[in-house]
Amino acid sequence: MGSYVLGLEEIDQAQVAVVGGKGAHLGELSRIDGVRVPPGFCVTTDAFRRMVEDAPSIDDRLDRLSRVNPDDRDAIRAVSAEIRRTLEEVAVPDEVAVAVTGAVARLGERTACAIRSSATAEDLPGASFAGQQDTYLNVAGAAAILRHVSRCWASLFTERAVAYRLRNGFDHRQVQMAVVVQQMVFPHAAGVLFTADPVTSNRKVASVEATFGLGEALVSGLVNADSYEVRDDEVVAKSVAHKEFEVCASPAGGTRERAIEPERRDRPTLTDPQVVRLVRLGRRIEAHFGRPQDIEWCLVDDEFQVVQSRPITTLFPIPEAGDGENHVYVSVGHQQMMTDAMKPLGLSLWQLTTPRPMAEAGGRLFVDVTGILASPARRAGFLDVVGKSDPLMGDALRTVLGRDGFIPSVPDDGPGEPIPGVAPATIETDAAVVAELVGRSEASIAAVKRDIRTKSGSELLDFVLADLQELKKILFDPRSHQVIMAAMQTTWWLNEHLHEWLGEKNAADTLSQSVPDNVTSEMGLALLDVADVIRPYPDVVAFLRDVEDDGFLDRLDGLAGGREARDAIVAYLDKYGMRCVGEIDVTRPRWSERPTTLLPMLLSNIRNFEPGAAERRFQQGRKEAWDKEQELLERLRALPGGERKAEETKRMIDRVRTFIGYREYPKYGMVSRYAVYKQALLDEAVRLVRAGVLREKEDIFYLRFQELQEVVRTNRVDDEVIRRRKEAFRSDEALKPPRVLTSDGEAVVGAYRRDDLPTGALVGLPVSAGTVEGRARVILDVAEADLEPEDILVTAHTDPSWSPLFVAIAGLVTEVGGLMTHGAVIAREYGLPAVVGVEGATRLIRDGQRIRVNGTDGYIEILSPDGDHRVGFPRHSPGTR
């Protein structure tokens, strides 16, 4: 048929560049035994390019479009409309028209056709682009088909398609448009089949939606659909919708709505045997493509025809086990307060750092806890610890255990592997223990900095690999673990006993304010000290407000006070510059690499605080902790057996204040070491770039550590591997990892089992006591934080890089977190009411709304219906601040 037209039977899935994603999938579908696809052809991207040659000024408009902000809807609408008009006004080139007309004649001159756009960036594994371009139904005659082909070409630049490409990083010039022309199907019923449950992601549950007439009514949301769930060839759930009308073909062309006869409105669209047969067909298609599919189908004369199949791009991948057994995985990212995707070098270095094997999926790490859950002796303690630290994770695990047979119990042959956090921590309350642990780590880091300078090539990679063993010894020193567990268990003891004896809720929160040796809270206060140095110099402050590049430190010396400011910032970076958002991923840019990241927080401190704020803040927290301690001890002594209770409580208070600050240190030591490794590895990458091995130094981030060793050894790299890894990382970034994932692919969602909340309240885990009202600031990027005094920070998750913000806020709400994760520890240190683990907080709370955060009982109330940046400052309940 020539380069402008290809029959579906000539096409396979390798021809996306020629016929687009939809065309390639349809061609491949037509090759699967037992799958019926309506006959047709594709107008190829060669035809599209031939048409664009005749389009005036298209290049200028594409240049303008590439510069548009993805959030500027008005600009997108205006420029995309111009491009569409330009393309629609271009006549179909004669040679293209001849090829299309010939293909139409082979189908039958008056055959009604469905005409669908098929972009080259459509129905891809990482981006479906579903619904972004246009479809036309029931079109007959060569002239009409040519007109609609032209409209499909133009639909490459609909507002929604352009916005989707901008958000997903697709170059408009690299995306081409083909058009699928198929014989029209006039079905009794139609709908969509997902071969994996689109809600839970369970790969063993298929979901079917069906309605009478054409499926376009369902896809576009015009009608309610019957829904069916199928597992193991059995319909396990069914819901029959009331159906008022159906969409059918119009005699004049196109489609129309038609009222459904009353006796059919509540009748199931499909019988159960038909649903099972459809799912079996879907499984065959899924097996062919090797991943779950979103399939559009039609039922004609009791026979299913497939009019589209695309990968489901929203499913979270399943870790590879390879044994065919059931597995349960828990997210490492939710425990580390970093749920973003990690690059391969970061993933592999983290895995080399930890003693426990980890599963990998979607650019995230998971721990397989199947063995623990299967062991009666180990299960209860594990669930108790998990439930206290992250109730949503604990509830999700209990949900899995409640399913008969998914995780069968196995006999306990012996003590088995110890469960972190279950065994009691036996260690004396002695500040010298913390000092010794910190001193050993600092000395070790200093040695690494000294010794790594002389290493390069394979010797450098071998040195890092060997030093990781030293890092593991420090991180997993039994005494270090005992200190952390002593702090956690003492916190639980205080909260439980003081609630039992005195009715006090979460008393340990106030008692652990302003403790010594908390390197992360000290980091936030230290930035207040930097602000004190800079505040007296207005020229420096004005300069910092306009900084746009990371070389600004070298330009400070010419300003009054510039040298003092530079020295203060450099000193801060010398101690904390290894930190950054997502710091467990070594590939993330550190503050020392991008010091501009600190400027919004630094300028906020300059604007909102008076000199000496850091010391005052610390002393205020220490006084509140001391006052709370004296109050509690006095009340305890008044109880029966009070002297004994007060003595025991005093011992526990001393213990928690001695040890709780150390909780933040091991990660600080680890990322300090990571920063040393990273700089040395990037220096090596520069050598590889100069040698022509790598295209850019950051390419090493897309190699696992062991692969990088081989590249350094051989001076050879597979560029295609790096390209695929970059593409996979972009896809992984869009995924939301679950707390708990099963080998069925199900993202198991936990819940808070509480019924004592105010109406409409958002529930979470209380991690820092007190109640505060104020303006919600929904912030997803710490670099864009613009906080006024006493705002309430609402975000997805925080890690230590967010700590400098905590000195300026009145309360904290996060979607991810537990009792001992970073945000909780620092909130208690600073005395901020905080609730974490609030599902959907950044979506349910709007920026600027006035909210009340109850950090004692664990809920948030929305006090104003709309966001308003002018709402008043917060009001604290007595005694909370």
Distance CA 503, CA 551 (A): 55
Distances (CA, A) of 405 to 321, 376, 402, 409, 765: 19, 14, 9, 9, 31
Task: Specify the amino acid at residue 799.
Answer: D
Helices (H) and strands (E) in the chain, counts: 30, 27
Longest dimension (CA), the chain: 100
In which region does residue 138 sit, left (phi positive, over 0), alpha (psi from -120 to 50) or beta (all else)?
Answer: left
The residues carrying an active-site annotation are 822
Helices (H), 696-833: 705-714, 719-733, 803-806, 822-830
Show the tokens assigned to 422. Answer: 């279950």
User: Closest by alpha carbon to 278, among 293, 267, 263, 264?
Assistant: 293
Task: Specify the amino acid at residue 594.
Answer: R
Cβ neighbours, 10 Å, residue 329: 25
Residue whose entry in the numeric block shows the structure tokens 């050993």: 440
Helix H, strand E, coil C: the string for 556-585 is CCCCCCHHHHHHHHHHHHHHHCCCCCCCCC
Instruction: Please state whether beta strands 859-862 and 762-763 pair in parallel, antiparallel, or not at all (unpaired).
Output: antiparallel
Structural contact between residues 246 and 228, judged by C-beta atoms closer than 8 angstroms: no
User: What backbone phi and psi angles, to 5 degrees, belong to 723?
Assistant: -60, -45
Structural contact between residues 35 and 297, judged by C-beta atoms closer than 8 angstroms: no
Residue 385 burial (10 A CB sphere; 0-12, 13-18, 19+)? buried
Long-range contacts of 623-629 (CB under 8 A, 24+ apart): 624/510, 624/513, 624/514, 624/831, 625/510, 625/511, 625/512, 625/513, 625/514, 625/515, 625/657, 628/507, 628/510, 628/511, 629/511, 629/653
For residue 793, give every residue at least 6 positions away whose Cβ sits within 8 Å of its Cβ, in sequence order, or none: 777, 779, 787, 805, 806, 809, 811, 812, 813
Distance CA 314, CA 550 (A): 36
User: What backbone phi and psi angles, to 5 degrees, belong to 524?
Assistant: -65, -40
Sheet holding 113-119: strands in order across? Answer: 5-7, 40-43, 177-183, 113-119, 135-139
CA count, 13 A, side-chain hemisphere, 127 = 22
Show the tokens assigned to 448. Answer: 């690494």
Structural contact between residues 73 and 48, judged by C-beta atoms closer than 8 angstroms: no
User: Closest by alpha carbon to 111, among 249, 246, 304?
Assistant: 249
Q: Report the alpha-carbon angle 438-441-442, nearest 5.
A: 85
Sheet holding 293-300: strands in order across? Answer: 234-239, 226-231, 206-212, 189-194, 293-300, 303-311
Structural contact between residues 799 and 805, judged by C-beta atoms closer than 8 angstroms: no
Distance CA 513, CA 657 (A): 8
